[in-house]
């Protein structure tokens, strides 16, 4: 049995330091500008691609780290740099995870490289699940996919919302209803290739935080995709739907995961790591400010009211990181989330980011409320962690259902 350790190995330390250097030297100097512009920071993404950070190879290496810590470590460092720019760099990963979770080996090999492009021609991808009337309530999804057997094509119609890179992406991964009678069990995921007729960008959202990341509606009007764009293939889908129908007739039975949930479960610890990075960044600003800012002839950290806040902030950050690392290690080593450990990590880290960034503003006082200091941006950015990829309320619901075995509503 491998000896238990929380020490990163030398390779991991080198990657961490490399990412930290990119975050410090490239991302942070550009953060305020792209937050104000509310545009995708293509030059920063291209620089990340040139260095090998924005690439399939890099994320594959981190994904297959046998300790499970590669991805959360990378997410923490990039989001320590800036959450908005970081989400523009890693947003393609959610679409890639959607393909990894549901696709065949051929589909994985075909589509994921196209999601990234290369350093000379950078591309992004989008994962499209949420809808105007179906966010956390995935069973209310209305986007339909109908199979045209004569042409071996799927026809998609509907509107997706809150899609990172929606409309500007080359490859879109779209979750749609194939059997409305089965509720969330009647969903499937589809690849919509670049330049497919009928797909367009709807409203682009002007957001409270993570403003350097593009978020928009995706409109699908008679979008036709080849049969091979159904992730997992039609035979596998037909088998899954048949099992779901049999269980429905029998009055329940084994839980069947839908396409969107499979993607979210795989990504929750990574989102927790993003939140840890933002919280850590705000804490470090507050700590530096408290040790250098003087009032009444002494540094403000000399007051217990400030010092105790910083102690609590650091404690929560370290606890959040440990929950994220545990969930990531469990996922990599094949240990089931019997207590919803993935949701626990995302819940606690998300709430920690909101709390720590708010405390950082308080410690900086009036300065923290201005854009001259980065903590107000960090606080705006932190708000998203308790909302996207499952709200804090949904995480608590998942945890409570898992612990109790009851269909808590």
pLDDT at 254 over 50: no
Which one from 36, 372, 389, 393 is the annotated catalytic residue?
389
- 235: annotated active-site residue: no
Phi-psi bin for 188: left (phi > 0), alpha (psi -120 to 50), beta?
beta
Least confident of 84-93, 135-144, 183-192, 262-271: 262-271
pLDDT in tens, 92-130: 998 998 998 899 999 999 999 999 999 999 999 999 999
**253 pLDDT higher than 60:** no
- Residue 409: CB atoms within 10 A of its CB come to 5
Residue closest to 168 by CA, chosen among 208, 205, 131, 223: 205
* Average pLDDT of the residues in 241-267: 68
CATH ID of 259-404, from 1.20.140.10, 3.30.450.40, 3.40.50.12640, 1.10.3720.10:
1.20.140.10
Specify the CATH number for 10-122; select among 1.10.1050.10, 1.10.10.10, 1.10.540.10, 1.10.3470.10. Answer: 1.10.540.10
> 134 falls in which pLDDT band (50, 70, 90)?
confident
Average pLDDT over residues 134-144: 80
Q: Are strands 125-128 and 171-177 parallel, antiparallel or unpaired?
A: parallel
Average pLDDT for 170-192: 95
pLDDT tens digit sequence for 183-216? 888 999 999 999 999 999 999 999 999 999 999 9
Confidence of residue 263 (pLDDT cuts 50, 70, 90): low
CATH superfamily for 125-250 is: Butyryl-CoA Dehydrogenase, subunit A, domain 2 (2.40.110.10)
Cα angle for residues 404, 405, 407 (degrees, 5° grid): 105
- Contact predicate 76/137, CB 8 Å: no
| Same-fold call for 10-122 versus 125-250 | no
Q: Parse the chain into domains and list their residue ranges.
A: 10-122, 125-250, 259-404
Beta pairing class for 187-192 and 215-226: unpaired
- Do 47 and 342 contact (CB within 8 A), yes or no? no
Overall average pLDDT of the 222-233 stretch: 98
* Mean pLDDT within 329-335: 91
More confident residue, 407 or 135: 407
Reply yes or no on whether the pLDDT at 255 is more than 60. no
Could you tell me the pLDDT band of residue 52, with boundaries at 50, 70 and 90? very high
At 264 the pLDDT is 61
Whole-angstrom distance, CA of residue 340 vs CA of residue 337 = 5
Task: With a cut of 80, say whether residue 135 has pLDDT above it.
Answer: no
Spatial contact of 123 and 115, defined as CB atoms under 8 Å apart: yes
pLDDT for residue 1: 46
Helical axes 304-332 vs 259-292, angle rounded to 10°: 150
pLDDT at 139 over 90: no
pLDDT score at 256: 45
E strands, 212-310, in order:
215-226, 294-295, 298-299
């Amino acid at each position: 049995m491998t000896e238990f350790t929380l020490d990163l190995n030398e390779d991991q330390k080198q990657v961490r330091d490399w990412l930290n250097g990119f975050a410090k030297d490239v991302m942070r100097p550009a953060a305020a500008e792209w937050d104000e512009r509310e545009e995708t920071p293509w030059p920063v993404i291209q620089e990340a691609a040139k260095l090998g950070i924005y690439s399939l190879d890099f994320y594959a290496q981190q994904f297959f780290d046998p300790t499970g810590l590669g991805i959360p470590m990378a997410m923490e460092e990039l989001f320590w740099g800036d959450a908005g720019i970081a989400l523009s760099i890693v947003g393609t990963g959610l679409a890639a995870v959607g393909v990894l979770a549901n696709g065949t080996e051929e589909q994985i090999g075909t589509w994921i490289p196209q999601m990234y492009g290369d350093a000379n021609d950078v591309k992004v991808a989008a994962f499209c699940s949420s809808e105007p009337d179906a966010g956390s309530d995935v069973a209310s999804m209305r986007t339909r996919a109908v199979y045209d057997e004569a042409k071996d094509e799927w026809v998609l119609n509907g509107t997706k919302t809150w899609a990172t890179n929606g409309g500007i992406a080359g490859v879109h991964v779209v979750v749609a209803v194939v059997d409305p009678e089965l509720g969330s069990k009647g969903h499937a995921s589809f690849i919509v290739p670049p330049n497919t007729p009928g797909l367009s960008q709807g409203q682009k959202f002007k957001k409270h935080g993570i403003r350097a990341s593009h978020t928009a509606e995706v409109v699908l009007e008679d979008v036709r995709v080849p049969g091979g764009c159904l992730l997992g293939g039609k035979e596998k889908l037909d088998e899954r739907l048949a099992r779901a129908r049999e269980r429905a007739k029998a009055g329940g039975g084994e839980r069947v995961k839908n396409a969107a949930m499979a993607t979210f479960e795989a990504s929750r610890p990574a989102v927790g790591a993003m939140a840890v990075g933002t919280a850590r960044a705000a804490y470090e600003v507050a700590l530096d400010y408290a040790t250098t800012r003087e009032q009444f002839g002494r540094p403000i950290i000399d007051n217990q009211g400030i010092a105790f806040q910083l102690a609590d902030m650091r404690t929560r950050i370290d606890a959040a990181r440990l929950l994220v690392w545990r969930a990531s290690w469990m996922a990599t080593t094949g240990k089931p989330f019997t207590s919803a450990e993935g949701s626990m990590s995302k819940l606690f880290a998300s709430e920690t980011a909101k709390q720590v960034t708010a405390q950082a503003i308080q410690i900086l006082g009036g300065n923290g409320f201005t854009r001259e200091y980065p903590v107000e941006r960090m606080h705006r950015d932190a708000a998203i962690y308790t909302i996207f990829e499952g709200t804090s309320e949904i995480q608590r619901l998942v945890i409570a259902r898992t612990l109790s075995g009851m269909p808590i509503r």
